[in-house]
Amino acid sequence: MGHRLAAPVLRSGRLLYLSVTAMLKSLNIKLFPIQRHVTGAVLTFAAAAVCLLAGCSDRGGSSGNAEYAYVAVTEASLRDRVSTLYTKTGVVHNGERLQILERMQSKRFLRVRSPRGEEGWVQERFLADQATFDQFQRLAEQFKSAPAQATATTEEQVKVHVLPGRKTGYLYLLNEKQKVDMLQRQTVDRNAPPQQLKDDKQKDADDAPDEDKVKSDNAGPPAVREDWWLVRDAQARVGWVLGRALYLTVPEEIAQYSEGQRIVAAFPLDEVTDGDKKVSEYLVLFTEKEGLPYDFSQARVFTWNTRKHRYETAYRERDLAGVLPVTLGRQNFEKEGNLRTFVLRAKEDDGSVRDRTYKFNPPIVRRVLAPGEAPPAPRHHKGSKPGGKAKSKY
């Protein structure tokens, strides 16, 4: 009993004895005569003592200063060696935290340990670093209670980026048919250099013109602006997704009235009863195309006609330079009672962003003017009437 562990040490007892002796002398530790036949247990104890005196530690570092990375692909295999021929030592999955044990800079491989204790080499390009993970944590905390501007689903697997842009770092993956909340929109030039993570401090506004000057001086490819959306999934993870990869959740009866425009967001305002079913009435925001400097240019309210069993346009406002988010609420209006309200934010001619409040007393929508605010000038569009009906296919 107990000899199995000592046997390998005994076979190389002489070498271990010489190593221990040399290390003790280098540390100025007084040596005493040692018997020629030293047991494995004594040598093991001596080697352990020397390691403690010399401050030995494993290559992975202590738990206090360990380095970690996170799996940014669906799954990746761990291998026992960096070679064409290797043995698989484990499999790691998206989002898992791995402890970094060793780096091979020349070949971009890392030796890691999984949460299950599996160890092996993995390609560095399959991993996200600690700074990327920390930024995702900050986004989740910052937007955990942010109201959704719309909901959307994915038609295929989508990468969730830490910053808007195709060339920025990513970590999580959204699977096919996964539903997310859409929180805010940002446009990015797909041909521009990728954005970089910053230390909690936002870049000064004065830097923006310098970036534009650099682009013109470099005479690079023309700007192609894309919409990116900050989204939140069912696990409360928050990150940026390419807008065209998301499919807005809107009733088909509403979507058919888009008239060639893109639906940006849809908000249920009320619910009416039609026979044995409940039907929602919506505020819907539209824009002409992606990449514009504003989030929406048109707002429409669709109400349900219970006699004709179809949606109709109760209110439409065009030529907006609208900015998300939209705020829903309720307010008491004396004789009209407690009504649903919504607030649209729009850029004015002077560049400022101002709130516009509306009240909804089905099926009528009216602007609520602040004290001293002048009523807006009426705008007429050829071929349309304010509050006109939306044509229905049914």
- Residues 42-87 have pLDDT tens digits of 444 444 443 333 333 344 444 568 999 999 999 999 999 999 999 9
Instruction: Quote the CA–CA distance of 299 and 297 in Å, as a whole number.
Output: 7
Question: How confident is the model over 340-391, as pLDDT tens digits?
Answer: 999 999 999 888 999 999 999 999 999 999 887 777 766 555 544 444 444 3
Q: Convert 195-229 to b/e letters by CB count within 10 Å (16 or more is b).
A: beeeeeeeeeeeeeeeeeeebeeeeeeeeeebbbb
Query: Would you state the pLDDT for residue 353?
Result: 95
* pLDDT at residue 102 is higher than 50: yes
* pLDDT at residue 203 is higher than 80: no
Question: How confident is the model over 115-169, as pLDDT tens digits?
Answer: 999 999 999 999 999 999 999 999 999 999 999 999 999 989 999 999 999 999 9
- Percentage of the chain with pLDDT > 70? 73
* pLDDT at residue 246 is higher than 90: yes
* pLDDT at residue 41 is higher than 60: no
